[in-house]
Structure 1
Amino acid sequence: MTEVRLLLTAVMFYTRIPVPGWVGYSEDALNRSTRYFPAIGWIVGTAVAVVIWLAGLVLPTAVAVVLGLAAGVLLTGAFHEDGFADVCDGFGGGHSAERTLAIMKDSRVGAFAVIGLVLLFGLKLTLLTDLVGRGLWQALVGLVFAHVLSRWCVVTVIRSGTYARLDATSKVRPIGKAISVGGLGVATLWLLPFVGLLWPTPWWGLAVIPAFATRLLMYRWFRRRLGGYTGDCLGALQQVIEVVTLATILALARTVGG
């Protein structure tokens, strides 16, 4: 029941899905629930894939993909996209760590955020539309893989990185603490089903390499600019790695096949 409570805590925090009242809330449970962040990738990625599949039965592929992306935003409350937008504004307009953090905490949206989000969703739309056109099933599996892998990369940052903002006003302070080795092991288990799901196109698993390379480069950037990461940085990391994974899968599909 403890693990079920932690899983439902992750669902409560990372999505808009209602959970039973007995789950409750505590900062400790929220921090420990990070081990189930990749499981959220399964939930959100599968929901997006189902919407794309159903909408694609009666609508053009591009429209189906837009509806799928909209479903993902509604399901998470644009949680990670908001972090991505804040990082675009903060890193685009801040010239010091203090100024960057202040901009990221500002609820107003600037030009860098708008431009970044337009490019982000444009890339997702283009990549997914092309992938679906090459084969629906594998495209949707690749979509879920991108959601799960990107969230696993975020967990590794929480495990080994340094939290940059320890003030009480940070909206994601509880998840800034280090995750245990056992917790990281549980998070890693959520990647194992793809060993079977990607079997028809096993080379798609190579997407792990650029995904983790992106994780290393982005955290190095965060550490140089801020001294570590914030919750907004984690959201941006998830979004960028999701796109990198989709781009890698498409590149492999175009060159290797599948």
Structure 2
Amino acid sequence: MMPRAELIKDIIADLRIATSFVTIVPVASAKPAGDGAIARATWALPAAGLLVGIAGAASYSLASKLGLAPGVAALLALATTTLVTGALHEDGLADTADGFGGGRTRERKLEIMRDSRIGAYGVCALILSFGLRWSALAAIGRPSAVTLALIAAHAAARAGVPAFMSLVAPARPDGLSASAGAPPGRSVAASFALGTLALTLALGPGKALAGLILLSLAGLVLARLAIRQIGGQTGDILGAFEQACEILILLVAASFVHAGG
């Protein structure tokens, strides 16, 4: 059995790797990113997402205390989370939309996805993503409820990423996803457990169940689409997956607010 001190050291190292992987927070990794370290650390992605959600919630709460309307506060919260992540997931969503919509062959789709320029499909995808998330947060309104929704969304949206990486092979031998490697089963299970816990504590069992069902369906649909379009997943696909999950969770939270749940 691993000594407790060594176990704690590894947990902290994984948290630092996961945080540096999905945010721009300058957290130096305590162990090398090679040799499968990133794949092993994917269990901590929900924890990294928790930090992003807290940052967005703090921005929303501050804006509300200053007397700003829910719509303005929601926009500032989204700006904060986008800044903290360096628009990593939004970039993936835009590239995926451009590649799938603008390419005719697998090779052309992958080429478009690697192009730093954004096209019409990418612009439309980003407008829809920001629009849906903004509408959901503004509809929720209350800062305390928005805080819980953002925490649930950002933690759980990343919880399925290890499973997606494990079940769907990389579409090409290079790139972010391929270099990270396939997460081990224990990382997949731990990430899923943390995401489920965040959903349940933040939104309650009923809403958490609805969210998990929708996230699973989103993962299955995107996985099938990615395999058919480009033969697997890439870092851009993972970003698009996170965005879809984030949107769904926020919509679930908003719909239950208006249903009186």
User: Which residue does the alignment assign to 1:67?
Assistant: 76
* Cα distance between partner residues in 1 of 2:194 and 2:38: 19
Offset, 1:188: 2.4
RMSD (Å), alpha carbons: 1.7
Contact 2:42-2:162 within 8 A present in 1 as well: yes
Letter in 2 for 1:185: A
User: Which residue does the alignment assign to 2:235?
Assistant: 231
Offset, 1:49: 1.0
* Cα distance between partner residues in 2 of 1:48 and 1:111: 28
1:98 to 104, 107, 111: 107
Letter in 1 for 2:200: V
Structure 2 SS opposite 1:190: helix
Contact 1:31-1:174 within 8 A present in 2 as well: no
Letter in 2 for 1:56: S
User: Which residue does the alignment assign to 1:148?
Assistant: 155
Offset, 1:244: 1.5
Deviations 1:140-167 (A, max 9, x none): 2122111122111222111211111113
Structural mapping, 1:182-221, within 5 Å: 182-191=186-195, 192-199=197-204, 202-205=205-208, 206-221=210-225
Letter in 1 for 2:164: V
Structure 1 SS opposite 2:36: helix
User: 5+ residue gaps in structure 2?
Assistant: 1-8
Contact 1:8-1:23 within 8 A present in 2 as well: no
Matched, 1:49 2:40: no
Structural mapping, 1:152-163, within 5 Å: 152-163=159-170
2:134 to 117, 125, 134: 125
Matched, 1:138 2:141: no
User: Which residue does the alignment assign to 1:112?
Assistant: 121
Letter in 2 for 1:109: I
* Cα distance between partner residues in 1 of 2:177 and 2:165: 12
Letter in 2 for 1:204: K
Instruction: Single out whichever of 19-28 and 102-111 deviates more from structure 2.
Output: 19-28
* Cα distance between partner residues in 1 of 2:17 and 2:202: 27
User: 5+ residue gaps in structure 1?
Assistant: none
Contact 1:203-1:252 within 8 A present in 2 as well: no
* Cα distance between partner residues in 1 of 2:30 and 2:168: 32
User: Which residue does the alignment assign to 2:40?
Assistant: 32
Instruction: Single out whichever of 182-191 and 236-245 deviates more from structure 2.
Output: 182-191
Matched, 1:3 2:7: no
* Cα distance between partner residues in 2 of 1:172 and 1:194: 26
Offset, 1:66: 1.0
